[in-house]
Copies of this chain bind each other. A is one copy, B any other.
């Protein structure tokens, strides 16, 4: 059968790692499979290239940055092919463009439009192992080389698995799979044998760095099961796939806890309590090209003003503050305060849909840990709370224990009082 495997940068960080990965690929090939491998740049190559670009130019043009960065995967792909050739199999490396990864023309953040894998099909027909440089493609309109955003080699892999009709896609990295929480924070965190696309999307969107968000979206849309596993062992990892919710009582209510320390909170104080003032604040931020996440608008308590808080990526903090300060006079608010000493803890599980009382359990567990909740947001299968930066680990552990997710843990029984 056709197998698509993706190896991350840590799996091909040096010559020894490349040879080890080559052996694993050859093992798969010798089991009678057609093998297509997607590879990231070696170790810190992409960061090193970004540093080099920063030395040359304060603001490198995106087209040229893509030309530069795509060298990274080109190199690892060629080296991996060499190592496989030494093991007695013929391997051929292809750039994203050669592999037929057709994208939009937005440099640095292009989207895959189509895959035209003619050269891959030919190479497979000839019995070759195919190595594809991840993270890159070619613009349908300009024919220029594009990149798909950091971590997007995962997306390349899933897209190729779908286009090639492979039964699934294996994503190899330096972690054993998806865990019920970050094992560095929760020692009792457990590897999940499987997780639904929807839950994995929420995990990825809320700070879990296992899989790229767009990769999971792609896998869900194309219904490609993804096996997330370690390149350093032969243990099974986590299957990200369609899970039938027919029998929810068999499923755990909560699948995992994600956390995210990359956001900041901005609070706009003394906003005039008039129609459209809040809209003016958010329009200002949106016009600066910034996506916001959680929002809280305080109830006006007299004095004719209110306060608005929202969260956003820390990377956009300075830009948002500048935009708001320049709009202070027209909107007429009193002040704006920036705080990046916050963190978000998210409880995720499709079981929430059918089990009432989950939010009560979350809030009680966090309260009993002595932690103050600053903001709350929810989706159908997720509850997120914003807490102080220093309280994130404690909050994750408290919630993990409360839902009985610890390896030897005991669930706190929660009251069925609805969310």
Contact = CB atoms under 8 A, between A and B. Distances in A.
Interface string A49-84: 100110111111101110110111011011101110
Given A15-B55, A71-B74, A74-B71, A92 B79 contact: no
Contacts of A59: 86
Contacts of A55: 14-15
A93 B60 CA distance: 13
Given A67-B77, A75-B71, A56 B18 contact: yes
B67 A15 contact: no
B82 A64 contact: yes
A85 interface: yes
Interface centre among A14, A60, A77, A143 (most CB of B within 10 A): A60
Contact of A79 (B56, B63, B79, B119): B56
A361 B101 CA distance: 66
A29 interface: no
Contacts of A91: 64
A13 to B, nearest CB: 12
A19 interface: yes
Given A81-B64, A92-B63, A57 B86 contact: yes
Given A19-B56, A56-B15, A56-B18, A78 B82 contact: no
A53 B71 contact: no
B61 A75 contact: no
Interface string A14-26: 1100110000000
A96 to B, nearest CB: 13
A67 B133 CA distance: 11
Interface string A202-234: 000000000000000000000000000000000
A3 B83 CA distance: 42
Contacts of A75: 49, 52, 68, 71
A67 B92 CA distance: 10
Contacts of A70: 74
Contact of A67 (B49, B78, B86): B78
A183 B163 CA distance: 60
A117 to B, nearest CB: 14
A143 B119 CA distance: 10
Interface centre among A19, A82, A86 (most CB of B within 10 A): A82
B83 A57 contact: yes
A68 B78 contact: yes
Interface string A317-346: 000000000000000000000000000000
Contacts of A64: 78-79, 81-82, 85, 91-93
Contact of A65 (B60, B65, B72, B78): B78
Interface centre among A14, A19, A60, A75 (most CB of B within 10 A): A75
A86 B58 contact: yes
Contact of A61 (B61, B71, B85): B85
Nearest to A22: B56
Contacts of A63: 92
A93 B63 CA distance: 9
Contacts of A67: 74, 77-78, 81, 93
Nearest to A12: B56
A26 to B, nearest CB: 14
A79 B58 contact: no
Contacts of A78: 53, 64-65, 67-68, 71
A79 B53 contact: yes
28 contacts: A15-B55, A15-B56, A18-B56, A19-B56, A49-B75, A52-B79, A56-B83, A57-B79, A57-B82, A58-B86, A61-B81, A63-B92, A64-B79, A64-B92, A64-B93, A67-B78, A67-B81, A67-B93, A68-B74, A68-B75, A68-B78, A68-B82, A71-B72, A71-B74, A71-B75, A71-B78, A74-B74, A98-B143
Given A57-B83, A119-B143, 5 more contacts: A15-B55, A15-B56, A67-B77, A67-B93, A71-B74
